[in-house]
Amino acid sequence: MISIYNILPEVSLLIIVLYFIIYKSYVINLSNDLKMNHIEKIIYITFFSLILILISIYDSNYCIYSFNKLFVNDNLTIFTKIVILVSTLAVLFISKNYLKNNKIYEIEYYIFILLSILGMFTLISSNDFITFYIAIELQSLSFYTLATYRRKSLYSTEAGLKYFILGAISSSLLLFGISILYSFTGATSFNDLHILLYNIDYLNNDYINNLYLLSMILIIVSILFKLGAVPFHNWLPDIYEGSSTSVTAFFSIVPKIALIAIFIKLLMLLVLITNSSFNVILSISCILSITVGSLSALFQKKIKRLLAYSAISHIGYILIGFIGSYSYNYVSILTYIIIYIIMTILVFTVVFTLSRQKESRGLGTSIVHIEYISELKGLAYKEPYLAILLSITFFSMAGIPPLAGFFSKMYILLNAIESNLIIVPLISIIFSVVSAFYYIRLVKLMFFEKDSKIKYMKYKKKIIYFTLVLIVFLTFFLFMPNVLVEFIQILIENLYNIYL
């Protein structure tokens, strides 16, 4: 069987990476702008064609295994891959200005982004724990390198080192869990494990039950670390703050959906729906994430750290979806993450668009993007469109109706109450009011205060047209939620049909 067609996206990414590596060595005489133009054209063309290919092979009951069941291509993987490609395109588009201002002209930046996307693709398509581990390692290693990208800055190197050490620990825990699972089942493939774990009467056998719980908890803990859920969240704010902003944008937008998609598949295949042993750890992690995320974000003064803590609280909300046993929980999770991606893209668009000239002693003027929350003061009087954009995004993140963020929280909480949970929705909704404060504080800074000291430079208008589409989606989600939700519902139903 010619299985290479099944991994066409991954293979094409690998080819582009190799091309970039070779490209650097023979175009050394071209100007930086021309090089960047070439690279961007290549990336845009590749991604668009991959998106088209993936859309064209999307089909309802599509499921193809390849390489002796190491890889799988089903409709969830296709959907997630499309989302990753689209969001990476968006991130690269909006961070172009930032890269130019900070003179990031090296090709290695794009190489590592492509390698991390390759890792994410392999992660989503993995059907075996070995592939899973290799993919997570590939993605994480590319991220460690991206986090230390600006090697001359103290912040960056510290961020990368922290990320590397903590990530290595979590990967080792993952490996330990996988090996325990292998030890008592003798299988690493998801299909074999699914058949074994669903049919073995392991609940009555203490030895196997304990080993199962231990291995699954280690694997879940490792994934929770990578997501940034609370007992394992300490790396997130430092990494977000220390890396260069374009890398932070990439971190906060792209990898979460890959991890969540594979987490959904793991829980669907390896954990019986009626098995509620993992609900305890997921509930505790979820409640703590929402609490710690909301409360810590109240005191932040830097935008990137605020976004990091708000990302932690959003992950807490997503984890609510994993707790109950209601079968439509996964629909609400995927809806939430997509709306979260759109909101984060909008926030980072504004962060990249607002730049000002800063005089530093001895080094001349440099172009700096906003770093502190207080630099947003009086934005409504200077750049009204950006202020309206940001305030709609922040109201949506706070979960205020009628914007899309409210609907994403609504679906999650609706499913939680259908699963008869009481404490978790109650605490999450109380802390959503607490977190609403720091979002409306940003709106207050933009609209209610005037500041004439900071003058922003002009920005390109085409970014605005791009954001218009996203804002229209957020605002008018109220009128047509079924465009997204029904689609994801059909996806999850097909997933259930294929695997269970």
Partner 1 sequence: MFDDFLLFFIVLPLFGCLLVNLKRLETNIHNIAFYYAIFILIVSLFLLFNLSINDYTYSYILNINWLNIDNYSIKFGIDGISIFFIILTTFLIPVCFKLNIKSYISVNYYYTCFFILEFLLLIVFTVLDVLFFYISFESTLIPMFLIIGIWGSRERRIHAAYQLFLYTLGGSVLMLLAIFKIYSFCGSTDLETITLTKFPLSLEKYLFLAFFIAFSVKVPVFPFHIWLPEAHTEAPTGGSVILAGILLKLGTYGLLRFTIPVLPESTIYFTPLVYTLCCLGIIYASLTTIRQIDLKKIIAYSSVAHMAYCIIGLFSLTVEGIVGSILLMIGHGLISSALFILVGIIYDKYHTRIIHYYRGLTMVMPIYSILFLFFTLSNISFPGTVNFVSEFLIFNGLLCSNSFILIIAGIGTLLGASYSLWLYNRLSFGYLNTKTIKYFSDINKKDILLLIPFIISTLVLGLFPTIITDYFNTPVLVILETINYIIQ
What residues line the site for partner 1 (CB under 8 A)?
Answer: 380-381, 384, 395, 400-402, 406, 410, 413-414, 417-418, 425-426, 429-430, 432-433, 436-437, 440, 443-444, 447-448, 450, 478-479, 481-482, 485-486
Q: Rounded to the nearest whole angstrom, what is the least distance from the CB of residue 459 to partner 1 in the complex? A: 21
Q: Rounded to the nearest whole angstrom, what is the least distance from the CB of residue 472 to partner 1 in the complex? A: 14
Q: Rounded to the nearest whole angstrom, what is the least distance from the CB of residue 85 to partner 1 in the complex? A: 28
Whole-angstrom CA distances from 227 to 170, 186, 265, 449 are 11, 28, 15, 36
74 contacts 65 by C-beta, under 8 angstroms: no
Q: Rounded to the nearest whole angstrom, what is the least distance from the CB of residue 314 to partner 1 in the complex? A: 17
- Rounded to whole angstroms, the Cα distance separating 28 from 390 reads 41
* Residue closer to partner 1, measured from CB, 340 or 395: 395
Token digits of residue 479: 């009128």
Q: Rounded to the nearest whole angstrom, what is the least distance from the CB of residue 490 to partner 1 in the complex? A: 12
Q: Rounded to the nearest whole angstrom, what is the least distance from the CB of residue 441 to partner 1 in the complex? A: 8
220 contacts 50 by C-beta, under 8 angstroms: no
What letter does residue 357 receive in the DSSP assignment? E
3-class DSSP assignment, residue 400: coil
- Rounded to whole angstroms, the Cα distance separating 439 from 309 reads 12
Q: Rounded to the nearest whole angstrom, what is the least distance from the CB of residue 355 to partner 1 in the complex? A: 23
Distance from the Cα of residue 320 to its chain's centroid:
17
Q: Rounded to the nearest whole angstrom, what is the least distance from the CB of residue 379 to partner 1 in the complex? A: 11
3-class DSSP assignment, residue 73: strand
* Residue closer to partner 1, measured from CB, 373 or 414: 414
Whole-angstrom CA distances from 325 to 210, 273, 277, 415 are 22, 6, 12, 9
* Residue closer to partner 1, measured from CB, 53 or 400: 400
* Residue closer to partner 1, measured from CB, 36 or 485: 485
3-class DSSP assignment, residue 461: coil
CA angle 99–101–103, rounded 5-degree value: 65
* Residue closer to partner 1, measured from CB, 145 or 428: 428
* Residue closer to partner 1, measured from CB, 5 or 487: 487
* Residue closer to partner 1, measured from CB, 141 or 404: 404
Alpha helix ranges (H) inside 96-230: 96-101, 107-124, 129-147, 154-185, 190-199, 206-227
3-class DSSP assignment, residue 360: strand
* Residue closer to partner 1, measured from CB, 465 or 479: 479
What letter does residue 457 receive in the DSSP assignment? P
